[in-house]
């Protein structure tokens, strides 16, 4: 009997070749952004990452154009660079609040 790997690695798509309206599922997002699942959802909850689009009763996806903008902002330092480990939502909220305070301070200096 053959055994299969528990997790099949996902090759990230070429996001620059995709139209803005293309939909990306979570495994592709994680491969592109190189973050954990819990970090991605913490960023979505905090409003740093784009909101998902419901494509079915139990399925969501993200627009490629919005993910592309998020990644460009993240490379400039606009988006959070922290990661959440263990799915600790309380810590994620604390870090999101600190990031929001830092953003307000940056706006005040500008």
Structural domains of the chain sorted by starting position, each given as residue range(s) with its CATH number in brackets: 20-109 (1.10.1660)
pLDDT at position 77? 63
Contacts of range 82-88, beta carbons closer than 8 Å, 24 or more positions apart: 82/39, 83/35, 83/36, 83/39, 84/36, 84/38, 84/39, 84/42, 85/36, 85/38, 86/38, 87/38
More confident residue, 78 or 87: 78
Q: How far apart are the first and last CA of the chain?
A: 64
pLDDT average, residue stretch 41-63: 92
Joined tokens for residue 59: 């399925």
Q: Of 73-77, 82-86, 100-104, where does the model show the most confidence?
A: 100-104
Beta-bridged to residue 59, according to DSSP, are 56
Higher pLDDT, 16 or 53: 53
């Amino acid at each position: 009997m053959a055994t299969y790997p528990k997790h099949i690695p996902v090759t990230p798509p070429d996001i620059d070749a995709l139209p803005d309206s293309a939909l990306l599922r979570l495994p592709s997002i994680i491969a592109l952004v190189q973050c954990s699942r819990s970090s991605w959802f913490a960023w979505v909850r905090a409003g740093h990452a784009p909101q998902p689009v419901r494509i079915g009763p139990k399925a969501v996806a993200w627009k490629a154009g919005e993910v592309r903008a998020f990644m460009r902002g993240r490379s400039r330092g606009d988006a959070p660079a922290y990661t959440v480990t263990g799915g600790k939502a309380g810590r994620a909220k604390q870090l999101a609040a600190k990031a929001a305070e830092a953003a307000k301070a940056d706006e005040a200096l500008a």
